[in-house]
Amino acid sequence: MNIGQASERTGVSAKMIRYYEEIGLLPSAARRANGYRDYGDREVAVLQFVRRTRDLGFSLEEVSALLALWSDKKRPSRDVKRLAETHIADLERRIREMRAVMKTLRQLAQHCHGDERSDCPILDDLAKPRAPSAKRARRT
Amino acid sequence: MNIGQASERTGVSAKMIRYYEEIGLLPSAARRANGYRDYGDREVAVLQFVRRTRDLGFSLEEVSALLALWSDKKRPSRDVKRLAETHIADLERRIREMRAVMKTLRQLAQHCHGDERSDCPILDDLAKPRAPSAKRARRT
DNA sequence: GTTGACCTTACCATTGTGGGAAGGTGCAGG
DNA sequence: CCTGCACCTTCCCACAATGGTAAGGTCAAC
């Protein structure tokens, strides 16, 4: 089948299918006499796998690792689980950060009239010079 | 003061200070006779404002809007609050999405032995062809 | 034979940041 | 005075992942 059909069946845009091939995430697709890429059920399955892992937030690099694990029938399931849990931990960390930011923003917004008046605690706070306060997450 | 000092005091890299100027987020810095950019307390305050808003996850475009609101002494606080709340809503949405993903991943990981054995429900699930199931968030 | 839907490659844009090269400047020590 | 080092300047490249578009080839239907 053509790339358009493969795209339609997997939800991966033709653009991205070509890109994945270009960066080596996918093997080079077979070509027909006219130069068109040709896809079969196996390729479609791989694309669905990629689509699914992308939807779960894995980076292309992680997807690549997952594809390798997938095709290696003898790899220990530990390897897969570790990758998944690392990703989960990453999501947890990002969510924690975002929640902290939200908390701050909510507090700021709460004290802002939000009407015609021009005085605004949000901007006042944003403009307040921060205490140097522990430069960065120090790892010492 | 030179860009290096300004960077150190604000936590914004010299690279980024130049970039912000280039894209018009910041006005062109004053130059000394030798061509070096020259920063004073006012500029440092603006950079701190930018740094702070960036830390709170606002995009440069939003930062630009906030800077404009900040310098417009007569704008209604409603404008500021709206921008902040839009950002909060955005964070909420993203967190919801990430939590949904985490839930799925946790379920998958939970059923994976994670040991030497090679059978792995995570990969099995990722490989399962999805039911077409409501293509995308349809807006009809 | 023409039209329209598809395919091909190739390049550009996005967002925000870092890296580095090539060259000028400024100061301190010899 | 010269040298070295730390700083500044601009310019270009890279990343991640995706979309857009243009210029051209192909195929099927009419």
Domain spans in chain A, listed from the N-terminal domain onward = 1-67, 76-129
For chain B, what's the residue count? 140
Residues facing strand C, Cβ within 7 A: A 2-5, 14, 18, 29, 35-37; B 13, 15-16, 19, 33-35, 54, 59-61
* Class of the domain covering A1-67: mainly alpha
Alpha-helical segments (H) within B23-59: 41-55
The answer, yes or no, to whether residue B2 has pLDDT greater than 60, is yes
Instruction: Assess contact for B67 and B24: CB atoms under 8 A.
Output: no
pLDDT tens sequence across A63-92: 999 999 999 999 999 999 999 999 999 999
Q: Which residues on B lie below 8 Å from A122 (Cβ)?
A: 77, 80-81, 84
pLDDT recorded at residue A114: 87
Give mean pLDDT, residues B25-53: 95
Residue B55 has a CB neighbour count (10 Å cut-off) of 13
Contacts 24+ apart (CB under 8 A), A91-97: A91/A57, A91/B98, A91/B101, A91/B102, A91/B105, A92/B102, A94/B98, A95/B95, A95/B98, A95/B99, A95/B102
The answer, yes or no, to whether residue A50 has pLDDT greater than 80, is yes
Q: Which residues on B lie below 8 Å from A94 (Cβ)?
A: 98
CA distance A128 to A91: 31
CATH architecture, domain defined by B1-73: Orthogonal Bundle (1.10)
Of the ranges A47-56, A128-137, B54-63, which one carries the lowest mean pLDDT score? A128-137
Instruction: Assess contact for A37 and A29: CB atoms under 8 A.
Output: yes
- B82 reaches A (C-beta below 8 A): yes
φ, ψ of residue B134 in degrees (nearest 5): 50, 75
What's the whole-number average pLDDT of chain B? 90
Give mean pLDDT, residues B43-69: 96
- B112 reaches A (C-beta below 8 A): yes
CA distance A137 to A87: 21
- Predicted confidence band of residue A131 (pLDDT cuts 50, 70, 90): low
Give mean pLDDT, residues B41-70: 95
Give mean pLDDT, residues B4-16: 96
Q: Which residues on B lie below 8 Å from A93 (Cβ)?
A: none
The percentage of chain A sitting over the pLDDT mark of 90, rounded to a whole number, equals 85
- B15 reaches A (C-beta below 8 A): no
Strand C nucleotides, any atom under 7 Å to a protein CB: 6-9, 15-20, 25-26
Residue A127 per-residue DSSP state: H
Closest CA to B8 of B39, B35, B42: B39
The answer, yes or no, to whether residue B129 has pLDDT greater than 80, is no
CA distance A59 to A40: 25
Instruction: Assess contact for A62 and B93: CB atoms under 8 A.
Output: no
pLDDT recorded at residue B131: 55
CB contact under 8 A, B48 and A77: no
Count CA atoms within 13 Å of residue A79 on its CB side. Answer: 17
- A54 min Cα distance to partner chain B (Å): 10
Q: Which two tokens stand for residue A94?
A: 């990002």
- B111 reaches A (C-beta below 8 A): no
